[in-house]
């Protein structure tokens, strides 16, 4: 299980146009997402600037926030670079079981960027 970050990983995910994609800044706030993400999970531009915790069930948020903050302290995580099955919250509150693949990347300026592709495992867009 890898816990390292990979140069160019975020862009590699962004190129997978067939999968929903979302990226956050070092604070865990959403910076961008693609059309597939918008189509499947229903979120619009208002998600930009919000915490990525919005797309996780409320019971997951404590661990998510704590894990995010821990990453900033230790720069290691067992969540990155391998598929992870999690419930994902849509803009209407519905949950879609999805396979998240999270990557972390440090920019030349030293700031962290996190991105994930989400593969819906149920519903009309399941793949």
Out of 8, 15, 59, 124, point to the residue binding another protein (CB under 8 A): 59
User: What are the contacts of 55-63 at 24+ separation with CB within 8 A?
Assistant: 55/22, 55/88, 55/89, 56/86, 56/87, 56/88, 56/89, 57/87, 57/89, 57/95, 60/86, 60/87
Question: Minimum Å distance from CB 15 to another protein?
Answer: 26
Position 12 contacts another protein (CB under 8 A) = no
Least Å from the CB of residue 5 to another protein: 17
* 51 sits near another protein (criterion: CB under 8 A): yes
Bridge partners (DSSP) listed for residue 99: 85, 119
- Give me the residues that bind another protein (CB under 8 A), please: 1, 27, 50-51, 53-54, 57, 59-74, 78-79, 84-87
């Amino acid at each position: 299980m890898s816990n390292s970050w990979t140069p160019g990983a975020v862009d590699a995910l962004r190129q997978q146009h067939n999968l929903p994609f979302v990226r956050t800044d070092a604070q865990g706030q959403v910076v961008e997402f693609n059309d597939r993400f918008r189509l499947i999970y229903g979120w619009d531009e208002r998600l930009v600037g919000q915490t990525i915790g919005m797309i996780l069930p409320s019971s997951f948020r404590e661990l998510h926030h704590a894990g995010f903050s821990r990453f900033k302290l230790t720069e290691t995580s067992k969540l990155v670079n391998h598929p992870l099955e999690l419930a994902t919250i849509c803009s209407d509150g519905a949950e879609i079981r999805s396979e998240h693949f999270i990557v972390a990347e440090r920019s030349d300026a030293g700031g962290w960027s996190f991105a994930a592709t989400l593969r819906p495992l149920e519903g009309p867009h399941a793949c």
